[in-house]
Amino acid sequence: MGKRQLDWLQAWAHDWKGVRSKCALSQTAFCGAVHLHGTPENRLLADLDCNGWPQTGRNKALRILKEAGAIHLCGDQHLAVVVQHGIDEYRDGPWSFTSPALVNTIYGRWWHPEDEQPGANPVPGSPLPWTGDYVDGLGNKISMVAYANPTDRRDEKQRADGYGMARFNFATDTIRFECFPRFPTLDDDGQPLQFPGWPVDVPLEGPPSHP
């Protein structure tokens, strides 16, 4: 971000008039939460499309978002993920939810660490094998909480497209990230099942005087 953008964001972070909570929307995720691009054989170390670089600008923006108590909702990554950004240390930045593509017929992406090992501090009880603390190809710290990899790109019902929702619950001071496949499996009550690893509940932060 340039100076004018950062100045605007800083002013927004401190403006709590009539505001109960804050959310920042961006096109990209500010981190490389993807390993495989286009095909399962195409592994990239660094993807500048994510806007996780230059790291200085990325970190400045994330510091302000954390100061604002904002969550980060983003898209355009062809892969649904929930991460908590790390700036100086793991988990010292804002929470981020990248929604899936509504229709993902052309370009698939996968979260698939090369060593196929969980990171430090994996999510307890997660059905997903690769959660926890990682460093992306740009040197950014991220804590992976949930991801929705395509199962079979040849099958239009297994391409991991769908939609996401963020539910703000002011009674419990939480935000719930939900993520549904475009072609969901229904439970016994006829309700759509979410991608494995969802829903994800994160703290809702209010104004500085918020208890």
What is the tens place of the pLDDT at every residue in 73-119? 998 789 999 999 999 999 999 999 999 999 988 889 999 999 999 99
pLDDT digits (tens, 9 = 90+) for 48-57: 889 999 999 9
Q: Check whether 10 has a pLDDT greater than 50.
A: yes
pLDDT grade, residue 209 (50/70/90)?
low
**pLDDT value, residue 140:** 98
Q: Which of 29-38, 131-140, 151-160, 202-211 has the lowest mean pLDDT?
A: 202-211
Give, as one character, the DSSP assignment of residue 64: H
Cβ atoms 111, 6 nearer than 8 A: no
Q: Write down the pLDDT at residue 211.
A: 44
Phi-psi region of 125 (alpha: psi -120 to 50; beta: other; left: phi over 0): left
**pLDDT score of 207:** 80
Task: Give the H or E element holding residue 84.
Answer: strand 81-86
pLDDT at 47: 87
**Mean pLDDT, residues 18-44:** 95
CA distance 3 to 127: 42
Instruction: With a cut of 50, say whether residue 44 has pLDDT above it.
Output: yes
Listed range (68-72, 73-77, 182-186) with the worst mean pLDDT:
73-77
Average pLDDT over residues 182-188: 96
pLDDT of 128 reads 99
- Hunting for tokens 């939810």 — which residue is that? 97
In the numeric block, the tokens 């992976």 are attached to: 144
Residue 179 has pLDDT above 90, yes or no: yes
Work out the mean pLDDT of the chain and round it to a whole number. 95
- Show the tokens assigned to 28: 């990209």
Question: Residue 91: what pLDDT?
Answer: 98
Residue 75 has a pLDDT of 85
